[in-house]
């Protein structure tokens, strides 16, 4: 079946550090890939997405590239802020009918 | 308007109570979802409605009863719940598109506690 694997953390970084959160997936065909972020006490917000191989999604300084050859969609940000502290979920979906989420990675950014 | 609104934000109910969770969106989305999220876990899909018809039921116990009265509203009726049903219940919506997966928009969730 389809699945998503990501580092669970917690990941603790100092402000302005470089962030990488790894995400790999198992799926047949060509799913769309997403990163969602969940701030404490809130629902999920879409951070970025990519719908085909070699697409790069970007938003708010975050980037991720759809790599079919390595079945990966790693999230990166060049300089994190305290306000980026949250849980980050990698997800895949076919035709929007069934999102499969990874376990989530908790990020803490210290001032 | 890119919001999915869920009410109430918090709900405490006894095991013999009947309550309902409500979800509303005005983005013209024709797919709506209920997810359950336990602490420190990812959301788990419960139900999917497509064009107001139930298209996916992930083997959810019958004490959870979804309803989609129109294209903007989604309800989740709760009856005879157990303490282990305590969780954050998330509603989401998305477009229904061929070949391309649109993103899902999530509400803030209802924090449910069963006592």
- Interface contact flag, A89 B40, Cβ < 8 Å: no
* Whole-number percent of chain B with pLDDT over 90: 83
Longest Cα–Cα distance of chain A, Å, equals 42
Query: What average pLDDT does the segment B46-55 reach?
Result: 93
Mean pLDDT of chain A: 93
Q: How many CB pairs under 8 A join A and B?
A: 63
Instruction: Find out whether A107 and A85 touch, Cβ atoms under 8 Å.
Output: yes
Alpha carbon A73 to chain centroid distance? 7
Q: How would residue B109 be classed by pLDDT, with cut points 50, 70 and 90?
A: very high
Which burial class, exposed, middle or buried, applies to B40 when counting CB atoms under 10 A from its CB (0-12, 13-18, 19+)? exposed
Specify the pLDDT at position A67. 96
Query: What average pLDDT does the segment A3-23 reach?
Result: 94
- Interface contact flag, B50 A97, Cβ < 8 Å: yes
Q: Which residues touch B15 (CB under 8 Å, ≥6 apart)?
A: B80, B81, B82, B83, B114, B115
Residue of B nearest to A42 (CA): B108
Query: Which of A20-24, A30-34, A83-87, B17-21 is least confident?
Result: A30-34
What is the CB-side half-sphere exposure of residue B35 using CA atoms within 13 A? 25
How far is Cα B44 from Cα A44, in angstroms, rounded to an integer?
Answer: 13
Q: Does B2 touch chain A (CB under 8 A)?
A: no
Query: What average pLDDT does the segment B10-34 reach?
Result: 95
Specify the pLDDT at position A1. 80
- Interface contact flag, A44 B90, Cβ < 8 Å: yes
Q: Does A28 touch chain B (CB under 8 A)?
A: no
- Interface contact flag, A103 B50, Cβ < 8 Å: no
- Interface contact flag, B104 A95, Cβ < 8 Å: no
Specify the pLDDT at position A111. 95
Q: Which residues touch B73 (CB under 8 Å, ≥6 apart)?
A: B22, B23, B24
* Whole-number percent of chain B with pLDDT over 70: 94
How far is Cα A69 from Cα A66, in angstroms, rounded to an integer?
Answer: 9
Alpha-carbon distances of A39 from A47, A88, A104, B4, rounded to whole Å: 12, 9, 12, 16
Residue of A nearest to B90 (CA): A43
Q: Write the pLDDT tens digit of every residue in A74-100.
A: 999 999 999 999 999 999 987 656 788
Count, residues in chain A: 111
Specify the pLDDT at position A94. 76
Q: Write the pLDDT tens digit of every residue in B68-86.
A: 999 999 999 999 999 999 9
Specify the pLDDT at position B95. 85
- Partners of B109 on chain A (C-beta within 8 Å) are 42-43
Out of B55, B90, B101, closest to residue A93 by CB? B101
């Amino acid at each position: 079946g389809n699945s998503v694997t990501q580092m669970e953390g917690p990941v603790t970084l100092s402000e302005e550090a470089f962030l990488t959160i790894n995400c790999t997936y198992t799926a047949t065909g060509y799913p769309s890939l997403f990163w969602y972020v969940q701030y404490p006490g809130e629902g999920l917000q879409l951070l970025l997405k990519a719908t085909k191989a070699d697409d790069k999604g970007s938003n708010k300084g975050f980037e991720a590239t759809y790599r079919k050859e390595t079945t990966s969609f790693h999230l990166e940000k060049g300089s994190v802020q305290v306000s980026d502290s949250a849980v980050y979920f990698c997800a895949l979906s076919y035709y929007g009918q069934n999102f499969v989420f990874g376990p989530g990675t908790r990020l803490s950014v210290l001032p | 308007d890119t919001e999915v609104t869920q009410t109430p934000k918090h709900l405490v109910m006894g095991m013999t109570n009947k309550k309902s969770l409500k979800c509303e969106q005005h983005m013209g989305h024709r797919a709506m979802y209920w997810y359950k999220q336990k602490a420190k876990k990812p959301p788990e899909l419960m139900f999917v409605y497509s064009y107001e018809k139930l298209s996916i039921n992930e083997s959810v116990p019958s004490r959870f009863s979804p309803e989609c009265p129109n294209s903007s509203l989604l309800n989740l009726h709760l009856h005879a719940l157990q303490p282990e049903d305590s969780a954050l219940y998330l509603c989401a919506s998305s477009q229904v598109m061929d070949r391309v997966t649109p993103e899902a928009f999530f509400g803030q969730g209802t924090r449910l506690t069963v006592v």
